[in-house]
């Protein structure tokens, strides 16, 4: 609306601002799309990239075996890290000073040293101990002994490096989730007569999971990418296989592109799974809260 003098009224000003924002939104979007298209086109026509080689190896059995090893490393290492992180977090929350000191020392050590260094140390563990023995400490009594290289293979060394490093982060994530539940809520639940099992399942765990699940999903996605570091000890993962193939055919860039495509695919699937899990967890938490409220009303009545 305009006045008789031709000036805009106050109701027209927000519409004008919205129109300007809409135009700038489209312009910025077109610029970003143009830049992305230019980069993609320059890569596609680049004479230094043999795309036929990429197509040849993208579904190569050797590449797929390396991908499978990468998935095994990620899933196994993350599972161990979650379980170990739970134990460390409970030790950290314990009133026992020894348990608290050990947990803090563990987190300090494994978070404070680079993952690559830890993988290299486990890969060269035989340089520290050439035999792994089973016996009674401080007595010299030995029941069995095995060569270290037979026990800590490259796969085992990769799992140890990834899992122990990740457990330090998972311990802090789980601890923060447990601590996010206020003491007032647990005291109120106990006052209503809830058992310890009901307290954990209906009050503590649902609220803690809201804090724990999202960063845990992010950590697993990060784990999928961190498995590439085990290439330094020839861990048999996707990157190791790609490097071995390129060392023979000298198609370094092409094999790196193959590895990149597979990393992008598996991390995208993991991200979609994480989003689905968070939505289902949200619905489950709401249902548990509703049951908890009904139980509290029934007990109070």
Per-10-residue mean pLDDT of the chain, 301 residues long, equals: 53 57 78 85 78 89 94 95 92 88 94 94 89 81 85 92 95 87 66 65 73 88 94 92 91 91 94 85 64 55 54
User: What pTM did the predictor assign?
Assistant: 0.78
Q: Give the residues across from 134 on adjacent strands.
A: 144
Pairwise CA distance, residues 180 & 171, whole Å: 14
Question: What is residue 192's predicted lDDT score, i.e. its pLDDT?
Answer: 66
């Amino acid at each position: 609306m305009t006045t008789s003098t031709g000036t805009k009224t106050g109701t027209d000003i927000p519409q004008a601002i919205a129109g300007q924002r809409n135009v700038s939104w489209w312009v910025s979007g077109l610029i970003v799309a143009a830049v992305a298209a230019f980069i993609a086109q320059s890569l596609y026509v680049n004479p230094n990239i043999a795309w036929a080689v990429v197509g040849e190896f993208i579904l190569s059995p050797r590449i797929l075996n390396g991908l499978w090893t990468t998935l095994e490393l990620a899933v196994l290492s993350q599972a161990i890290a979650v379980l170990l992180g739970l134990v460390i977090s409970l030790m950290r929350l314990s009133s026992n000073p020894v348990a608290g000191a050990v947990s803090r020392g563990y987190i300090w050590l494994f978070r404070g040293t680079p993952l690559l260094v830890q993988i290299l140390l486990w890969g060269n563990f035989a340089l520290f101990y050439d035999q792994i023995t089973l016996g009674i400490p401080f007595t010299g009594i030995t029941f069995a002994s095995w060569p270290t290289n037979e026990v800590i293979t490259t796969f085992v060394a990769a799992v140890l490096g990834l899992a122990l490093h990740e457990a330090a982060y998972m311990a802090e994530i789980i601890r923060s989730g447990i601590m996010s539940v206020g003491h007032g809520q647990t005291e109120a639940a106990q006052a209503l007569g809830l058992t310890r099992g009901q307290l954990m399942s209906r009050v503590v765990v649902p609220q803690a999971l809201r804090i724990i699940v999202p960063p845990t999903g992010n950590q697993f996605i990060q784990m999928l990418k961190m498995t590439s570091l085990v290439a330094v000890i020839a861990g048999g993962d996707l990157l190791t296989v790609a490097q071995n193939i390129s060392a023979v055919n000298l198609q370094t860039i092409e094999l790196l592109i193959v590895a990149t495509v597979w990393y992008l695919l598996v991390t995208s699937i993991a991200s979609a799974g994480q989003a689905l899990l968070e939505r289902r967890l949200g619905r489950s938490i709401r249902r548990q809260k509703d049951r908890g409220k009904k139980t509290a009303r029934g007990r109070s009545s």
